[in-house]
Amino acid sequence: MAWMEWLAGLPPSLLLQQSGTAYLLVNAAHIVFLGVLVGSIVSLDLRLLGAGRSLPLNLVGPFLSRMAAGGLALARPLGRAWVETSLDIYDATNGAADGLYTALGTSGRFAVGRADLSLGAAYWRTPAGNELGLDATVATQIADRLVAYARVERAPTDPLYGTPRDLTASFGVSWRVTKKRLARAIPVVELAEPIGRGRKVRFQLAGGVADRAAVAGSFTDWKPRPMQRAQDRWVLEVVLEPGIHHFGFVLDDGRWFVPDDAPGIVDDGWGQRNASLVIVEGR
């Protein structure tokens, strides 16, 4: 296939074809990381199924999970950085420069103090040849709705529109004029007024989530307590004593449900999850 030929023509691929040592090292690394990934997952699964009970799950679980994640190249937010890779393939047919355009790209976004740095690179294979595109942008907030930025870009030749390869630099200020937001989602839990040592708590779900909804948790002995329908939502108010409370929702025919935006989501130990809430005395 054409895209495979394109891959074979990339400089790293050519190196692997020509150098036995490079191929050996890359293949070994590939096997090692696969082993780390699969080995960690299998070990964790065996422990969850009950093997090696003497090994505390709260110690080996996080370690094995991290090992598995480390063995796999992932695009994920890392708190201070976001890195992703992509492979784009599209077929342009406009009579100017028909053909297959493919790009292998990588981009990253990094926090540098109060500034945001974005870097990108893409290797383009086009009907007119192969070229490298690069860009770097740094942006920093200078006021509530004002962002100052600087960008440098090396754009490859564009055969479709006849623009030649060039290097551009741009500077500017971006002003967000309006600050409209989408309507807020219904909060799953709202804390109301203190009652005695505890606190009244309102549990809520969007009305469209089910025909019947109930709350079940440590404060109901895990028996479903039916919620009431109020306009666009299901509601139940409960007074909770100080302490930590686990809960979830039971929908329709008994399906256990915990919304993604529920507070304090924690694994229940049986493959499902609970939400959790801490009530502090008098607060």
Q: How far is the CB of 258 from another protein (least distance, A)?
A: 12
Q: What is the DSSP letter of 191?
A: E
Residue with smaller CB distance to another protein, 208 or 271: 271
Residue with smaller CB distance to another protein, 231 or 260: 260
Q: How far is the CB of 174 from another protein (least distance, A)?
A: 5
- In angstroms, what is the C-alpha Rg of the chain? 27
Spatial separation of the C-alpha atoms in residues 186 and 207, rounded to whole Å? 10
Spatial separation of the C-alpha atoms in residues 86 and 195, rounded to whole Å? 54
CA torsion 176-179-182-186 (nearest 10°) is 140
Q: How far is the CB of 58 from another protein (least distance, A)?
A: 5
Residue with smaller CB distance to another protein, 49 or 231: 49
Q: How far is the CB of 21 from another protein (least distance, A)?
A: 32
Measured in residues, the chain has a length of 283
Residue with smaller CB distance to another protein, 147 or 209: 147
Q: How far is the CB of 246 from another protein (least distance, A)?
A: 7
Task: Write out the H or E segment, with its range, that includes residue 42.
Answer: helix 20-48
CB 279 within 8 A of CB 245: yes
CB 240 within 8 A of CB 219: yes
Residue with smaller CB distance to another protein, 20 or 181: 181
Q: Is 164 helix (H, G, I), strand (E, B) or coil?
A: coil
Q: How far is the CB of 205 from another protein (least distance, A)?
A: 19
Q: How far is the CB of 256 from another protein (least distance, A)?
A: 7
Residue with smaller CB distance to another protein, 26 or 101: 101
Q: Which residues contact 187 (CB under 8 A, 6 or more apart)?
A: 204, 261
Residue with smaller CB distance to another protein, 31 or 81: 81
Task: Write out the H or E segment, with its range, that includes residue 130.
Answer: strand 129-143
Sign of the dihedral defined by the CA atoms of residues 155, 161, 164, 168, in that order: negative
User: For residue 17, with 0-12 CB atoms within 10 Å meaning exposed, 13-18 middle and 19 or more buried, which class applies?
Assistant: exposed
